[in-house]
Amino acid sequence: MIKKLLLTALMPLLCARLSFAQTRIVQSINSNWLFHKDIPGSADATSWERVSLPHTWNTQDVNDDEPGYYRGKGIYKKTIYIPANWKDKNIDLYFEGANQVTQVFVNGVFAGRHIGGYTAFSIPVSKLLKFSSDTVSANQIMVEVDNSADPGVPPLSADFTFYGGIYRNVFLVATGRPHLDVSGPGQAGLRISTPRVNEQMAVIITNTKVKELKDRSAYKIINEIVDRDGRSVDRIEQKLDGEGVSVKQALSKPHLWSCDDPYLYRVITRLINNKTKEVVDQQTNSLGIRWFKFSADSGFFLNGKHVKLIGANRHQDFRDMGNALPEALQERDIVLLKNMGANFIRIAHYPQAPSILQACDRLGIIASVEIPVVNEINESETFYKNCLDMQREMIDQNFNHPSVVIWAYMNEVLLHPHYKEGSKERQLYFGNIVKLAKRIDSLSKAEDPARFTMIPCNGNFDLYNNTGLTKVPQIVGWNIYSGWYSGGLEGFERFLERHHANLPDKPLIVTEFGADADIRSHSSDPVRFDKTIEYQRIYHMHDLKEIMARPFVAGAAVWNLVDFNSEGRGESTPHINTKGLTTDAREPKEAYFLYQANLLKVPFLKLGGNQWLLRSGIASADGTSMQEVVVFTNQPFVALWLNGKLLKKVEAKDHIAVFQVPFRNGLNYIKASDGKGLEDDQTVKFKMIASDLAHDTTFDALNVSLGDPRFFVDQKMQQVWLPEKPYTKGSWGYLGGQVFRLNSLNRQPFGSDKAIVNTNNDAIYETQRIGLTGFKADVPDGEYAVTLHFAELQAKNNAEKSIYNLDATVAKEVEQTRSFDVQINGKTILEDLSNHNYLLPATAYYSTTIITAEKGQGITIDFIPHQGQAILNAVQIKKIF
Ligand code: GCB
């Protein structure tokens, strides 16, 4: 013991004697690049734009009304200045990621190529650089990146945007000679494993290579493990037997890494010149000591203790930034996850920025990482090779992260079977998928026997079993969307039970479950596909409860932590998949609070409706309007105050306390409290619509979305669109007709999922009333602007299809299905409105008319059909004076 203490005390002194002659230099070269798209013959091809990395060229075009985005080549160039005294160094360019095929040229000479958009790569450039006797010399770097669709490179298709560009950091890495293997700054090139760990001891093995080693007897390795306080806890010197180095160390009573206590040591590997004692090269890696296992019966165990893995998937893009995110925004997502109470992330569908797993290590989030083989494969050796290369690169680059416990591959790979059902080709295709899965799986096990492998499958249980795919990995992941893409919520637990009964030996993770929510849509009667915040909350409440109730479910990851771009999607927020627990700008939705209430160990209380601070409704007899307010909490009781008065105290059920709140016109101050000091408050602006419109001298505006049971809030315009209702005397509403329903799929309670061109308020246009004869509002006398909104939802020509749109069609040509006149207070204001003029498929058309309402006549809108049925998507009545 004394000897050990003495050694520990002396260690800094021993180290202090080492001099750091020519250890590696790692510096980013992100700023001041020039860029252009390489479109032959276009103006873009010659004019250089000044950009900094991370950069993508698709930030704008993924969000416009045009289908598709630029998938082609982009050229980057930059002058780098290399010091004269680097002449004898080994110099690499290290790319953290560029999508998806990258070629690098130095001073006009080809330097290297990398295939795949999501793993890092090093390009050796020493031989191509120019040196002069000046202090520095200019060298030209040119990088050609191509994100064209390529049948040999996964992903072939997926529900996310394949942004092109050098969208992660680029570094110059210079080492002396000889040097430790270089793969990147502070990672890979060196693998640390912990083959034996328990509470008493840990065996730590560091494997690396010494490159360009001429005389092995002249050098040695010193490997040192340093604790969090900077104390050296183990140090070992080792002679070199050759290029390969394997250093074995042991720690007694190691401080274990866990989700609650993510303790990290550092491993410092130094290459020392025996004679001069100089440190020739040095690498530092973090080390988390833990052991884990998955059991098919009882789930996941970390350091011998059961841990239910609950978290989310994460896509890497951000609103208006594409996938080119600075470090701070990468890390912010892991903090978001941690603050949610989560302990798990599925990094899907591709490896992400190094800072993601670094943050997981630091914050104690368990991770699964996977390569981007999604939906389908290409049956070619090139494709197979690229899959295997990606898996190898992914494992190599992320090997040292204690947070990683799973290497995954092939998301929902049987989704696009390419060939006809029952055909031989299809059978062969499935066979090839299974063969490839086996190759990837055995590569993973050979590269890293300590981690588990996983395939995330979609909800077709029989298909994945019958092909034999579920037999290949150690863990089966299921993406289960019961209550969203299929059936009712209860299908979820049936699916889980089915797995357990049929695959009793396979650990199970719910790799995806989720429901879309557009933060502008709300409902007092939420249903599947309505995309309301309330349905998303109900969906997650249900699934989370079922996940928690089953010990055999090792873990689950919500789809998705964040809303993300998927250019091909339509729906109410075109190009955005809104299954996030936050928006693409990371504003939390209610479901995020639901997870906090369920998972956080510290007392938690949060008012829902954070995106519903502008409300509207119809006054009841006492002048108030009753609407639901929910509070998320892990405390037993919640009291709610409205405008300073106690409304009610209720018991929270399943971590939610529900209140009916009588809102009054204007500002409503709401406060929720657990009675023990936890409080949350919000001010809701309520726009009251009088029940007796005719006598409402304060009447201001009425916005109604026809065919729609939801509220739609437009924060920017400060407008709330009310659900439709039939006309009643003294009030307002439609006359006749029915709610538009999709005849083909008939699975939506209302509306269409087409992206509507020419508007940002797609939801308003996606529902409509058809065959109505009129709309009436008994407003007081005055001058009004009446705006009618239309979009043709039924045009028949279906030119473009996307499986990711619930209603999978976008019509290209117009076929005449209807024509009608519109009159307001007896005056024809739209004559022969038809598909041959303004009513174009999935295109917003609106028109405002100024109307004088006098002698108590109010506003009456009549629809007079000539062909087919009249339609109305929305109406706005605004009092001017
Ligand atoms: C899935 C896919 C994921 C999609 C998601 C969805 O099953 O794995 O890539 O984004 O469903 O939202 O449809």
479 pocket-lining for ligand 1 (C-beta < 6 Å): yes
Q: Is the CB of 512 under 6 A from ligand 1?
A: yes
Whole-angstrom distance, CA of residue 334 vs CA of residue 323: 16
Residue that is written with structure tokens 């190094």 in the block: 354
**Partners of 721 in the beta sheet?**
712
Q: Phi and psi of 595, rounded to 5°?
A: -65, -40
Q: Considering all CA atoms of the chain, what is the largest pairwise distance in Å, rounded to the nearest integer? A: 106
pLDDT of residue 475: 98
- In short, whether 458's Cβ falls inside 6 Å of ligand 1 is yes
Mutate to test the pocket of ligand 1, among 157, 159, 529 (most ligand atoms within 8 A of CB): 159
Residues in the chain: 881
**412 CA distance to ligand 1 middle (Å):** 9
483: left (phi over 0), alpha (psi -120 to 50) or beta: left
Cβ contact 37:46 at 8 Å: no
Give the closest residue (by CA) to ligand 1 atom 10: 159
ipTM greater than 0.90 = yes
pLDDT tens-digit readout, 582-624: 999 999 999 999 999 999 999 999 999 999 999 999 999 999 9
Whether the Cβ atoms of residue 243 and residue 209 lie closer than 8 Å to each other: yes
Rounded mean pLDDT, 34-51: 86
Residue 749's pLDDT band, with cuts at 50, 70 and 90, is: low
Smallest CA-to-CA distance from 54 within 328, 305, 448 is with 328
Q: Which atom of ligand 1 is nearest to the CA of 577?
A: 12
* d(CA 55, ligand 1 centre) in Å: 26
Can you list the alpha helix ranges (DSSP code H) found in 803-853? none
Which run of H or E residues covers position 357? helix 354-363
Task: Quickly list DSSP for 45-79.
Answer: GT--EEE-SS--S-TTTTSSSSS----SEEEEEEE
CA 120 – ligand 1 centroid, Å: 25
Establish whether residue 571 lines the binding site of ligand 1, counting it when its CB lies within 6 angstroms of any ligand atom: no
Residue 560 near ligand 1, beta carbon < 6 Å: no
CA distance 115 to 99: 8
Q: Is the CB of 577 under 6 A from ligand 1?
A: yes
Average pLDDT for residues 809-831, to the nearest whole number? Answer: 81
What's the pTM value of the predicted model, to 2 decimals?
0.94
> Residue 516 CA: which ligand 1 atom is closest?
12
Mutate to test the pocket of ligand 1, among 156, 559, 563 (most ligand atoms within 8 A of CB): 559
Q: Average pLDDT of 834-857?
A: 94
Write out pLDDT tens, residues 722-744.
999 999 999 999 999 999 876 54
By C-alpha distance, which of 782, 792, 770, 789 is closest to 825? Answer: 782
804 CA to centre of ligand 1 in angstroms:
8
Q: Whose CA is nearest to atom 6 of ligand 1?
A: 159
For the chain, the straight-line distance linking the first and the last C-alpha, in angstroms and rounded, comes to 90
What is the CA angle 101-105-109, rounded to 5?
Answer: 135
Closest ligand 1 atom to 564 CA: 10
Contact 664, 688 (CB under 8 A): yes
Sole residue written with tokens 């560091």 = 206
What is the reported pLDDT for 7? 42
Any ligand 1 atom below 6 A from CB of 567: no
Which tokens sit at 544? Answer: 């989370």
Query: Ligand 1 centre from 481 Cα, in Å?
Result: 9
pLDDT tens-place string over residues 367-408: 999 999 999 999 999 999 999 999 999 999 999 999 999 999
Peptide bond into 178 cis (omega under 30): yes
Residue 859 and residue 694: Cα distance in Å, rounded? 11
Determine if ligand 1 sits within 6 Å of the CB of residue 579: yes
Q: What is the mean pLDDT of residues 686-711?
A: 95
* Distance from C-alpha of 463 to C-alpha of 251, rounded to nearest angstrom: 48
Q: Which residues pair with 94 in a beta bridge?
A: 122, 171
- Domains present along the chain, CATH in parentheses: 25-179 (2.60.120.260), 185-287 (2.60.40.10), 305-603 (3.20.20.80), 604-689 (2.60.40.10), 699-879 (2.60.120.430)
* Cβ contacts of 739 within 8 Å, gap of 6 or more: 707, 750, 767, 769, 770
Determine the Cα–Cα distance for residues 69 and 165; give it in Å rounded to an integer: 13
Tokens 């000591």, located at residue: 289
What number of CA atoms fall less than 13 Å from residue 326's CA on the CB side? 4
b/e for 738-771, b at 16 or more Cβ within 10 A?
Answer: ebbbbeeeeebbbbbbbbbbebebbbbbbbbbbe
What is d(CA 109, CA 638) in angstroms, rounded to the nearest whole number? 69
Residue of higher predicted confidence among 186 and 464? 464
77 pLDDT exceeds 70? yes
Residue 119 gets which letter from DSSP?
Answer: S
| C-alpha closest to that of 253 among 240, 263, 243 | 263
Query: What's the DSSP call for residue 844?
Result: -
Ligand 1 centroid – CA 159 distance (Å) = 6
Q: What is the pLDDT of residues 471-511, one digit of tens each?
A: 999 999 999 999 999 889 999 999 999 999 999 999 999 99
Distance 541 CA to ligand 1 centre (A): 20
Q: How far is the CA of 791 from the centre of ligand 1 (A)?
A: 28
Q: What is the dihedral of CA 166, 172, 175, 177, to 10 degrees?
A: 80
